[in-house]
Structure 1
Amino acid sequence: MAVESRFVVIRNGVEVETFMDKKAADEYDKMLDMADNLTEMFAKSSIELSEDMAEELSIYLAQNREDVLIALQAKKAKPTKPATKPTSKTAAKTTKASAEKKLAAVNDESLSEAS
């Protein structure tokens, strides 16, 4: 016989979602709490939104809270990892090699013109 743990998110007596992982269930519950708070905020504002639109917008904002915080400048965006830059030694070698190739090309041209 197998034993399985499940974590159920319940809102207003209704089972909303079931998770196998407690952390995922807690995160989802927290997102729903944020969405509820946003819905209340919209209801108190002068913005005219239907109940469905306010709920949909609230859930969207709660699900994308990191992007919202960045847009509000309340949080800095995570820097993207830049392409690997050559080290100073590698750059110096590359520059020296390029200079030597150019010098060799100039010398070859000079020799061809002299002939």
Structure 2
Amino acid sequence: MAVITQFVVVREGVEKMTFISKKEADAYDKMLDISDNLVPFFIKADLGLDENKCEQLAFYLANNKDELSNLLKGAVQVKNAPTAKTKKTTAKNTSAE
């Protein structure tokens, strides 16, 4: 029998994602913190987006924070077409974000 250590990210009593490394779990938790902090920022901006759209936008930007940071610094983006990063081999999504 094998022993498997798992790290579970829980938000407001709901399991969000399970990881096999603490480093990945901490990174995901930090990304969720960033997302949570962006939602009120977007709502305050009065962009005409409902709260659900603000949450989706915040999650997307937090999930792509490194690329966003480079763009905000003035770096030129060299992508031809947007691609979604959906494959996560070491994590198991336990809820729909």
| TM above 0.5 | yes
Structure 1 CA distance, aligned partners of 2:14 and 2:74? 34
Unpaired runs of 5+ residues, structure 2, are: 78-97
Structure 1 CA distance, aligned partners of 2:67 and 2:17? 24
Provide the alpha-carbon RMSD of the alignment. Answer: 1.9
**Which has the greater radius of gyration?**
1
Q: 1:30 is matched by which residue type in structure 2?
A: K
More strand by share: 2
More helix by share: 1
- The share of aligned pairs that are identical, in percent, is 47
Q: 1:5 is matched by which residue type in structure 2?
A: T
The TM-score, its normalising length taken from structure 1, stands at 0.61
Count of residues in correspondence between the two structures: 77
Q: 1:48 is matched by which residue type in structure 2?
A: G
In the other structure, the counterpart of 1:33 is 33
1:23 aligns with 2:23: yes
Unpaired runs of 5+ residues, structure 1, are: 78-115
Q: 1:14 is matched by which residue type in structure 2?
A: V
The TM-score, its normalising length taken from structure 2, stands at 0.71
* Structure 1 range deviating more: 36-45 or 65-74: 65-74
Write out aligned runs for 1:1-115 (5 A). 1-73=1-73
Q: 1:19 is matched by which residue type in structure 2?
A: F
**CA-to-aligned-CA distance 1:35-83 (integer Å, 9 cap, x gap):** 0001121122222211111111101101111111111117799xxxxxx
